[in-house]
Amino acid sequence: MPATIISGKEISARIRERIKGEIEELVRMKGENPDFALPGLAVILVGDDPGSSIYVRNKRKICEEVGIRSFGYILEKDTSEADLMGLIDQLNEDKNVHGILCQLPLPPHLDEFSVISAISPEKDVDGFHPINKGLLSMGKNCLIPCTPLGCVEMLKLSGIGIAGKHCVIIGRSNIVGKPLAALMLNENATVTITHSKTRDLQEICRQADILVAAIGKQGFVTGEYVKDGAVVIDVGINRDTENKVRGDVLFEEVSEIAGAITPVPGGVGLMTTTILMQNTLQAYRNIMSKEAVL
């Protein structure tokens, strides 16, 4: 029996509608108060990478859809680290900006860790700041990386339980694999992270109740990696020879074995940008609550 399709399109649409409704309520609350700011997201793009430019345009479009104010900053690819840090400092202090995202990857002359660390943890809607990553590992409230949180939201909103399940993650990146492992542990799953040096990879993957592929290798996960009825989350976004988007999972084969599966496109990718909007709204509420106390 073919697997149930976990539709990122449908789930992200539901989340966006909720966010839009919450922001519309904020607009009604704002009334005539000129000091009442609405959620604002600043996106910084350094250079002219075509893929990054498309992502930035998509983020601006979704901001408009849900009612979040969008601020875009496009910098030359040879922008100095000092100039980039200066812009981040300004945005950290800007009362109209509640979320800051610096589009990755950065040009080679810029230190990614230093740039990420310069963003205020309160406005770090990517969830990459060391403080937010530390809080996540401790199971504390924080801003969580968008793709891992999107994976968990897809499971929850599809009625798929996580607690007590064995989750195997293929990939140990700082953006997906590691934070997803922490998030799954916080949801009471038993977690195994695998990677390029893992022995008996297929055997370990076949033990998974929830298998997550996040390695950036088109069609790497075949039916031999999946046990009957497992839930398969495909985080991969790859371009084939015809420039079509493909996942890390061989969908046609695996969908005949898995119990549920995310498609590519139409799966996790859509959720990532939607969770960015959710994180921006959360950052806004956190900042406004703190200011109200002060």
217 given a catalytic annotation: no
103 given a catalytic annotation: yes
35 given a catalytic annotation: no
The active-site residue out of 20, 30, 49, 59 is 59
Rounded distance, CA 133 to CA 174, Å? Answer: 9
Q: Secondary structure of the chain in the HEC alphabet?
A: CCCEECCHHHHHHHHHHHHHHHHHHHHHHHCCCCCCCCCEEEEEEECCCHHHHHHHHHHHHHHHHHCCEEEEEEECCCCCHHHHHHHHHHHHHCCCCCEEEECCCCCCCCCHHHHHHHCCHHHECCCCCHHHHHHHHCCCCCCCCHHHHHHHHHHHHCCCCCCCCEEEEECCCCCCHHHHHHHHHHCCCEEEEECCCCCCHHHHHCCCCEEEECCCCCCCECHHHCCCCCEEEECCCEECCCCCEECCECHHHHCCCCCEECCCCCCHHHHHHHHHHHHHHHHHHHHHHHHHHC
The active-site residue out of 103, 218, 278, 282 is 103
The active-site residue out of 123, 124, 126, 133 is 126
Provide the annotated active-site residues: 59, 103, 126
